[in-house]
């Protein structure tokens, strides 16, 4: 049978891994796909690197737009990244009637609605398994494997850099800055780690999962995003003492508020009970927990980045597209799980309406009546305390830490309580507030 011809945009880490794995496992992949899949053309600005990786087995060019216009190319694989030229190339490939495979979570989270609409009109596929959690097949699981379920929530460790940093901070008691430098030395963190450590990368991914789970448009601009750069090792230590671990989670949840449907979409450091499997995901690994009404909780674990794990997802998409290449477009699996006409306009809930439990750390003067004043304020905001630690002051100190865990309450109630607590003369620093999730 005639091979499927693939054009590869970008032959860096993931592109090189894709070329290598596709070549190494060619016979097995052909058996699964039903026909050969071959990268016949590669576009990259670094022609020397492209020639070195391809070793004469593919045509090499530095003109990406010529590649997406090539009539012999059936599928374009976009591994350039970013919002700019990648968007232009993907849209041009679709306009030229070519299927697209991409690992670009930023592009999809920001411009996915436009891209999927164009692909639907043109009758081509856009596949993006590698855009979320690297080699973990979470997109296929949500879009197809759990299709019988009404998804209730998804919570995921979906950024390996931040998970490595938090694991090291907990294990070694080191500060964020020290561990970040070590992560950069080991290659887990980029020279500019902002997207990772400030939660933006995780927000791109949870935006995609939210759209898949709930049949809503991509709404990255409405996600609440907090990173880990301000996280204090003391809070990691206190969380451990209380039976919790802190992870940077992407969370999306279907909610009913005053009889109307809404969706939570948030990324932030989160306390998780240590007895939960996801709390014990360490190092640079990823894990995604999905709660469905029929199946209950399912956990997906594996490498969320790297050349060959991500290449595994890229090639899985190539096989899927190859299998469906000649299928009636109206009977393919929809890009975002739901048929385009069934996408809902369910709003993203403002953070003030999020309901969860909270970890609060207060630096206070060690004197009688302080705790009574604080608990009174919490009670006035209908916030009840689940557990508490009051640390004994060091010798010669006049201040101490009080750590409280609350029961479920709304974010707006906690905001109001914190404002009043910080106004007390006996409270000496800003209140540290972290959210908690039982995930069970």
- 3-state helix vs strand vs coil in the chain, percent to 5: 40, 25, 35
Active site residues: 205
298 in helix, strand or coil? strand
Q: What is the helix (H) or strand (E) element at residue 289, kind and residue range?
A: strand 285-292
Distance CA 127, CA 329 (A): 14
Contact 236, 209 (CB under 8 A): no
β-strand pairing of 4-9 with 37-43 = parallel
What is the total residue count of the chain? Answer: 440
- Integer distance in angstroms from the first to the last C-alpha of the chain? 49
* Burial (CB count within 10 angstroms: exposed 0-12, middle 13-18, buried 19+), residue 433: middle
Contact 303, 309 (CB under 8 A): yes
Where do we find the tokens 């009670």? 379
From residue 132, how far is each of 102, 136, 155, 321, 347 by CA, in Å? 11, 8, 13, 18, 23
266 in helix, strand or coil? strand
Distance CA 332, CA 194 (A): 37
From residue 161, how far is each of 139, 177, 247, 269, 357 by CA, in Å? 21, 13, 11, 13, 26
Distance CA 410, CA 397 (A): 35
């Amino acid at each position: 049978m005639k091979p499927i011809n693939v054009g590869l945009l970008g032959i860096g880490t993931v592109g090189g891994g894709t070329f290598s794995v596709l070549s190494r496992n060619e016979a097995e992949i052909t058996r699964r796909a039903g026909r050969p899949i071959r990268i016949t053309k590669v576009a990259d600005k670094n022609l020397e690197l492209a020639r070195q990786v391809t070793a004469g087995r593919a045509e090499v060019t530095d003109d990406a737009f010529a590649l997406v216009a090539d009539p012999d190319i059936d599928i374009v694989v976009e591994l350039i990244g970013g919002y700019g030229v990648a968007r232009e190339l993907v849209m041009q490939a679709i306009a030229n009637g070519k299927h697209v495979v991409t690992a670009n979570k930023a592009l999809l989270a920001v411009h996915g609605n436009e891209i999927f609409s164009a692909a639907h009109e043109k009758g081509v596929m856009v596949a993006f398994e590698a855009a979320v959690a690297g080699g973990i097949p979470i997109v296929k699981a949500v879009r197809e494997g759990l299709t019988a379920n009404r998804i209730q929530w998804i919570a995921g460790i979906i950024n390996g850099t931040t998970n490595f940093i938090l694991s090291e901070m907990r294990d070694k008691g080191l500060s964020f800055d020290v561990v970040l430098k070590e992560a950069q030395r080991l290659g887990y963190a980029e020279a500019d780690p902002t997207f990772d450590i400030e939660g933006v990368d995780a927000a791109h991914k949870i935006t995609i999962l939210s759209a898949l789970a709930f049949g809503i448009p991509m709404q990255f601009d409405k996600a609440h995003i907090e990173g880990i750069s301000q996280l204090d090792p003391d809070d990691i230590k206190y969380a451990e003492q209380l039976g919790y671990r802190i992870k940077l989670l992407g969370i999306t949840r279907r909610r009913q508020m005053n009889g109307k449907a809404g969706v939570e979409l948030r990324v932030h450091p989160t306390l998780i009970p240590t007895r939960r499997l996801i709390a014990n995901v360490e190092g640079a690994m990823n894990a995604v927990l999905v709660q469905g009404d029929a199946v209950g909780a399912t956990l997906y674990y594996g490498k969320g980045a790297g050349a060959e794990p991500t290449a595994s997802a890229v090639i899985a998409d190539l096989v899927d597209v190859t299998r469906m290449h000649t299928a009636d477009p109206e009977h393919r699996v929809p890009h975002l799980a739901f048929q385009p006409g069934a996408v809902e306009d369910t709003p993203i809930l403002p953070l003030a309406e999020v309901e969860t439990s909270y970890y609060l750390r207060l630096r206070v003067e060690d004197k009688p009546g302080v705790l009574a004043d604080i608990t009174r304020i919490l009670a006035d905001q209908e916030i009840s305390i689940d557990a508490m630690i009051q640390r004994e002051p060091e010798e010669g100190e006049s201040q101490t830490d009080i750590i409280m865990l609350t029961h479920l309450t709304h974010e707006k109630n906690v905001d109001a309580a914190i404002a009043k607590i910080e106004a007390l003369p006996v409270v000496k620093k800003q209140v540290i507030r972290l959210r908690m999730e039982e995930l069970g």
